Amino acid sequence: MSRILHRRIDASLPHAVSAEGVTITAADGKRYLDGSGGAAVTSVGHGHPEVLAAMREQLDRLCYAHTAFFTTEAAESLAERLVELAPGGLNHVYLVSGGSEAVEAALKMARQYCVEIGEPARRHIIARRQSYHGNTLGALATGGNALRRAPFEPLLPETHHVSPCYAYRDQRDGEMPEAYAARLAEELEAEILALGAENVMAFVAEPVVGATLGAVTATADYFRRVRRICDQHGVLLILDEVMCGMGRTGSVFACEQEGVTPDIVTIAKGLGGGYQPIGAVMLSERIFDAFAGGSGFFQHGHTYLGHPMAAAAANKVVEIIARPDTLANVNAMGERLQRGLEQALGDSPHVGDIRGRGLFRGIELVADRETKTPFDPARRLHARIKAEAMARGLICYPAGGTLDGVRGDHVLLAPPYVIGAADIDRIVERLTDAIHAAIGK
387-427 pLDDT, tens digit per residue, is 999 999 999 999 999 999 999 999 999 999 999 999 999 99
Superfamily (CATH) of domain 16-47+323-440: Aspartate Aminotransferase, domain 1 (3.90.1150.10)
Number of alpha helices (DSSP H) and beta strands (DSSP E) in the chain: 14, 17
Mean pLDDT score, 373-389: 97
Give 59's pLDDT tier (boundaries 50, 70, 90): very high
Give me the percent of the chain exceeding a pLDDT of 70.
100
- Stretch 217-223: mean pLDDT, rounded? 98
Q: Which CATH number fits domain 50-321: 2.60.40.10, 3.40.710.10, 3.40.640.10, 3.40.50.1820?
A: 3.40.640.10
d(CA 357, CA 252): 13
CATH 3.90.1150.10 occupies which residues in the chain?
16-47+323-440
Looking at the chain, the whole-number percentage of residues with pLDDT higher than 90 is 97
Mean pLDDT of 345-362: 97
Confidence of residue 383 (pLDDT cuts 50, 70, 90): very high
3 state SS of 272: coil
Counting other chains too, the contacts that 8-14 makes at CB distance below 8 Å and 24 or more residues apart are 14/390
Question: Is 67 exposed, middle or buried, given 0-12, 13-18 or 19+ CB atoms closer than 10 A?
Answer: middle
pLDDT of residue 403: 95
Query: Which element (helix H / strand E) includes 211?
Result: none
Question: What is the DSSP track for 108-177?
Answer: HHHHHHHHHTT-TT--EEEEETT----SSHHHHHHS--HHHHGGGGGGSPP-EEE----HHHHSPTT--H
Count CB atoms within 10 A of the CB of residue 159: 19
pLDDT at 394: 98
Confidence label for 1 from pLDDT (cuts 50, 70 and 90): confident
Residues comprising the chain, all counted: 441
* CA within 13 Å, CB half, 435: 27
Q: Place 81 in a pLDDT band, splitting at 50, 70 and 90.
A: very high
Question: Residues spanned by CATH 3.40.640.10 within the chain?
Answer: 50-321
According to the model, what pLDDT value does residue 10 have?
A: 85
The tens digit of pLDDT for each residue in 423-439 reads 999 999 999 999 999 99
Please provide residue 91's backbone torsions phi and psi, each rounded to the nearest 5 degrees.
-110, -5
Q: What is the pTM of this model?
A: 0.97
Average pLDDT value for the chain: 97
Nearest to 56 by CA among 312, 319, 429, 432: 312
